[in-house]
Amino acid sequence: KELLIKKLETLLPEEQEKVIEFVDFLEFSRHVKERQLLPKDTAVSPLGNRLREIRAEIIASGEPLLTPEEADCEKAERRGGYQGN
User: What stretch of H or E contains 54?
Assistant: helix 46-61
**Cα 6 to Cα 16: distance, rounded to the nearest angstrom:** 12
Bigger pLDDT: 83 or 14?
Answer: 14
3-state secondary structure of 21: helix
Terminal CA-CA length for the chain: 52
pLDDT tens for residues 1-59? Answer: 899 999 999 999 999 999 988 888 888 888 777 776 655 555 578 888 888 888 888 88
* pLDDT at residue number 9: 94
User: What beta strand segments (E) does 1-85 contain?
Assistant: none
Q: d(Cα 7, Cα 16) in Å, to the nearest integer?
A: 10
pTM of the model: 0.42
